[in-house]
Amino acid sequence: MTATEPFAPAGQTAPIVEIEDLQVGFPQLDGTVQAVRGVSFSLAAGESLGIVGESGSGKSVSCMAVMRLLRTPPARITARRLALDGVDVMAAGRRQMAELRGSVAAMIFQDPMTAFDPVFSIGTQIVETIQAHRATTTRAARAEALALLERVEIRNAAAILDSYPHQLSGGMLQRAMIAMALSCRPRVLFADEPTTALDVTVQAQILQLIKDLQDDFGMGLVMVTHDLGVVAETVDRVVVMYGGRVMEEASVHDIFERPAHPYTRALLVSIPGQEGGRRRLTEIPGASPDPSNPPTGCPFHPRCRQADARCRTDMPAMTPLGEGRRAACWRL
Amino acid sequence: MGRPDRIAPGDVPALELRGLGKTFHLRSGGVLRRRSTALHAVRDVDLVLPRNGILGLVGESGSGKSTTGMMALRLLEPTAGRILLEGTDITTLGSAALKPWRQKMQVVFQDSYSALDPMFTLQQVVAEPLRIHGIGTPDERAERALAWLERVGLHRGYGSRYAHELSGGQRQRVAIARALILGPSVLIADEPTSALDVSVKAQIINLLQDLQQDMGLSILFISHDLSVVRSLCDRVAVMFAGRIVEAAETEGIFGAARHPYTRSLLDAIPQLDPRNRRRRQFRSREDLAADIPVLSRAELAGDVAPSDTPRLVPVAPGHLVEARVTADPDTRSGA
């Protein structure tokens, strides 16, 4: 069995997000692109989890699957359990799902432009979102929208309410998208590369804002990112994904101080700028696996310095390492 | 001009920009009430790219760093200043006169996909600059292209493939091979690693390091990614609002930044140590733009006349900061 019991920290409340043995495939003319191949993780209320991976690792697709944001077909989703706040999203109807999205889980994306309709003002769209979930007057919803924009530290919020998406800078629009995501007071926020397209200083501001909001709202956070720096700054627990699988899961301290999986270790040492002075970096040879033609065995074996014959043929099971750490590697 | 001399005597830099500027005139209003607003995208940029080294040009979007690179390449006409390539002024050369100089200065962009013709095999893509410049026979060009593919870490079999078959990192390797096949002395690399996956980024950084050393190349590395710049560059210039506000040896920037903008930029870099999380204080652009360091002459590493107009002055050997200079050593220091 590749999937073991999903990890949940002891003594915490029931999980808000449960993903168990998730598989997501996209059938193509010449075979299926298997984007997610047996992923399990969960998130307790108020907890923050980072999902780290490179492009094609399946990190975004996993989150979109539990939010039911993938159109099926073409996507083929199977899972032993896929739930938000205890509700099986595979069995949930369209209306129930619409209710879950927003009041239980909300998602923000790298490109906020795609989240807004260009022909309506920011205010109109936030008001509409509020009214879709709660019976309230437009006047009250508008006041709430204004308060939200102020809460996400948009200066001149009243004017922004009547602005259109194209009139806002990338950082502003990201703040407005966060305000819209928060408008239904979700219990967990999925943030998919929310700062990747932003300038360094704007990125730092948005990350700090997301952390503050998480504390204020007592909200769970799933931070999907390729950037280990973002993870180090924002979350308590980390899932490392590669080739559609979870390679390792541990507390953020363990990930940085005693990474168990060779991929995690290789990733950490390859990050530029850790030491002063011009230098060659310790690179990871090769490229990420082609999801339409994944390698046999462990997806990382073609690039792993420690790989042996078994790694080439068999996928290692997730092995518990104590203290909430687990990793999938034959060479642990 | 009173500008500090950054050129070692007798050594002509690979590329030098002197007082380079670009002003866009934005027109508004109708025929009768036409108004023109001047947008200074780049103002009075002095930059020296020494031979055989990598200079980082960092800044955020809108800082003018890419505009500066495009002007250096003569892909965008400057409205002020001069471009000196190996000591020769190429600022006003016409296209025919410029052609031999184009061989000496090449470029790699962030998005190499759009730069690689999808209809060409990779061998043709890499050989194209040789063809354009009429170098070699078709067979010689093909052979050199294959040799260059190998040199950037792609085996010769890639020669018959097409750009769409490659990963992002492989495409960037092809773009580098294509840029270097003419044997330029200057490479301008505009965010070449920004679109790459983490595990591939280090490969491309190492490749650029190796090629720079093997070829004695001079690279102007334009990036918003300070971590990459720290590992790759010998020297760094920081741009803010169209101007260079600080320039120094790389560790002079990372270890002893003096300009408020540079400091805010460094402070924003995510730290890899989760035990050292901290709340940050953010300063607005307007606030930073207004905070021009004031230095007394005594604080400077060189004899500079007092000036109320901000300009780049040396605070240590090779370390320049944009500041106002006062005569009195007791005046407050903004840095």
Query: CA–CA distance from A319 to each of A5, A99, A325, B317 (Å)?
Result: 11, 36, 9, 55
Tokens representing B266?
Answer: 């460094």
Q: Where are the beta strands (DSSP E) in A193-244?
A: 220-225, 237-242
Say if residues B85 and B105 touch (Cβ distance below 8 Å). Answer: yes
The backbone torsions φ and ψ at residue A28, rounded to the nearest 5 degrees and listed phi first, read: -120, 175
Confidence tier at A277 by pLDDT (50, 70, 90): confident
Query: CA–CA distance from A192 to each of A221, A327, B6, B118, B214 (Å)?
Result: 11, 23, 45, 31, 40
| Mean pLDDT to the nearest integer, A145-149 | 91
Does pLDDT of B328 surpass 80?
no
Does pLDDT of B330 surpass 80?
no
Instruction: Answer whether A199 sits within 8 Å of B60, measured CB to CB.
Output: yes
Report the alpha-carbon distance of residue A66 to residue A224 in Å, rounded. 14
Report the alpha-carbon distance of residue A60 to residue A55 in Å, rounded. 9
Does pLDDT of B33 surpass 60?
yes
Instruction: Answer whether A199 sits within 8 Å of B273, measured CB to CB.
Output: no
Does pLDDT of A7 surpass 80?
no
What is residue A276's predicted lDDT score, i.e. its pLDDT?
82
Structure pTM? 0.89
Among A63, A53, A61, residue whose Cα is nearest residue A247? A53
Q: Tell me: the pLDDT tens digits for A28-79?
A: 877 888 899 999 999 999 999 999 999 889 999 999 999 999 988 889 999 9
What is residue A12's predicted lDDT score, i.e. its pLDDT?
52
Q: Tell me: the pLDDT tens digits for A230-246?
A: 999 999 999 999 999 99
Composition of chain A by helix, strand, coil, percent to 5: 35, 25, 40
A277 touches chain B (CB under 8 A): yes
| Mean pLDDT to the nearest integer, B116-123 | 91
What stretch of H or E contains A332?
none
Instruction: List all residues 6 or more positions away from B246 whose beta carbon is below 8 Å from its beta carbon.
Output: B237, B238, B253, B257, B258, B259, B261, B262, B319, B320, B321, B322
A51 Cα to chain B: minimum distance (Å): 14
Does pLDDT of B274 surpass 90?
yes
SS3 B335: coil
Among B43, B7, B49, residue whose Cα is nearest residue B188? B49
Q: Which of residues 295-314 of A touch B (CB under 8 A)?
A: 303
Instruction: Answer whether B224 sits within 8 Å of A200, measured CB to CB.
Output: yes
DSSP, residue by residue, B184-199: -SEEEEESTTTTS-HH
> What percent of chain B lies above the pLDDT cut of 90?
71
The identity of residue B321, as a single letter, is V
| Mean pLDDT to the nearest integer, B243-269 | 95
What is residue B165's predicted lDDT score, i.e. its pLDDT?
86
Q: Tell me: the pLDDT tens digits for A87-99?
A: 999 999 888 998 8
Report the alpha-carbon distance of residue A188 to residue A116 in Å, rounded. 20
Tokens representing B68?
Answer: 């500066």
| Mean pLDDT to the nearest integer, B247-263 | 95
Report the alpha-carbon distance of residue A284 to residue A282 in Å, rounded. 7
Half-sphere exposure of B103 (CA within 13 A, CB side): 13
Instruction: Answer whether B277 sits within 8 Å of A279, measured CB to CB.
Output: no
The backbone torsions φ and ψ at residue B318, rounded to the nearest 5 degrees and listed phi first, read: 80, 0
A274 touches chain B (CB under 8 A): yes
Surface-to-core class of residue A35, CB atoms within 10 Å of its CB (0-12 exposed, 13-18 middle, 19+ buried): buried
What is residue A10's predicted lDDT score, i.e. its pLDDT?
47
Say if residues A249 and A39 touch (Cβ distance below 8 Å). Answer: no
Confidence tier at B44 by pLDDT (50, 70, 90): very high
What is residue A104's predicted lDDT score, i.e. its pLDDT?
93
Report the alpha-carbon distance of residue A94 to residue A244 in Å, rounded. 27
Q: Tell me: the pLDDT tens digits for B197-238?
A: 888 899 999 999 999 999 999 999 999 999 999 999 999 999
